Amino acid sequence: MVNTKVTLCGIELDNPIIPASGTFGFGYEFAELYDINLLGTFSFKGTTLEPRFGNPTPRIAECTAGMINAVGLQNPGVDKVISEELPKLAKCFHKPVMANVSGFSVPDYATTCEKLDKCDQVGWLEVNVSCPNVHGGGMSFGTSPEAAAEVTRAVKAVTTKPVIIKLSPNVTDIVSIAKACEDAGADGISLINTLLGMRIDLKTKKPVIANKMGGFSGSAIFPVAVRMVYQVAHAVNIPVVGMGGVTTAEDALEMMLAGATAVQVGAANLVEPYACKNIIEDLPRVMAKYGVSNLNEIIGKA
Q: Which residues are catalytic?
A: 131
Region for residue 12 given its phi and psi (left: phi exceeds 0; alpha: psi -120 to 50; beta: otherwise): beta
Strand locations in 173-246 (E)? 188-191, 195-197, 200-201, 206-207, 214-217, 240-242
Q: State phi, psi for 243 to the nearest 5 degrees.
A: -160, 165
**For 160-233, where are the alpha helices, taking DSSP H only?**
174-183, 222-233
Q: From CA 89, how far away is CA 148, in angstroms rounded? A: 30
CB neighbourhood size of 142 (10 A) = 27
Q: From CA 38, how far away is CA 283, in angstroms rounded? A: 12
- Give helix then strand counts, H and E, for the chain: 9, 15
Sheet holding 60-63, edge to edge: 60-63, 66-69, 214-217, 195-197
Whether the CB-CB separation of 187 and 164 falls below 8 Å is answered with: yes
Q: Which amino acid is at 234?
A: H
